[in-house]
Amino acid sequence: MKLAPDGWVEGARRVPSPNRDERPAGAEITLLLVHAISLPPGEYGGDAIERLFTNRLDPAAHPYFAEIAGLEVSSHFLVRRDGALLQFVPVQERAWHAGASCWRGRERCNDFSIGVELEGADDGAFEDAQYARLRDLIHVLRAALPLRDIAAHSEVAPGRKTDPGAHFEWPRVLSALARL
């Protein structure tokens, strides 16, 4: 796995999202944000996340989908339960994943972050394959970008977001990064 000059990771399945735009001029990508998502909530598999990030989610397909119809959101990456990696936005562009957010006094985290969604829920554990893929992805991104921080969505949007949740094993991720 490596980051190509066009901002797409070789080895990730490309699913281009329209929910992206240019980063501000001179923005350094210094933060990786870890998220969790499942659609419908608590259910895994299927293509609902891809449909959400590409504005093709059918609001009639599930009652929850009607509640989120019209959202224009995306992330750079999605790591499925089996470790499969999907990419929606090239890394040099801004994905719409953090919303109203602040990290270490800097607002608008989308301007300077990479968003990585893990297929999962706040109240459940993540899979070994997801941790392995996340570790590999972070290694690739750190080799090409000035990433200095890794944070949870809940840390940049406290009171508004709770993901990836208490079951996310931060020590496991951080110890793996220390060995890179």
The DSSP secondary structure of 8-56, one letter per residue, reads PEETSEE---SSEEEPPTT----EEEEEEE-SSTT--SSSHHHHHHTT-
109, 125, 90: which is closest to 160 by C-alpha?
Answer: 109
| 117 noted as active-site residue | yes
Catalytic-labelled residue, pool 72, 117, 119, 169: 117
Q: Please give, one letter per residue, the 3-state secondary structure of 63-122.
A: HHHHHHCCCCCCCCEEECCCCCEEECCCCCEEECCCCCCEECCEECHHHHEEEEEEECCC
Residues with catalytic roles:
117
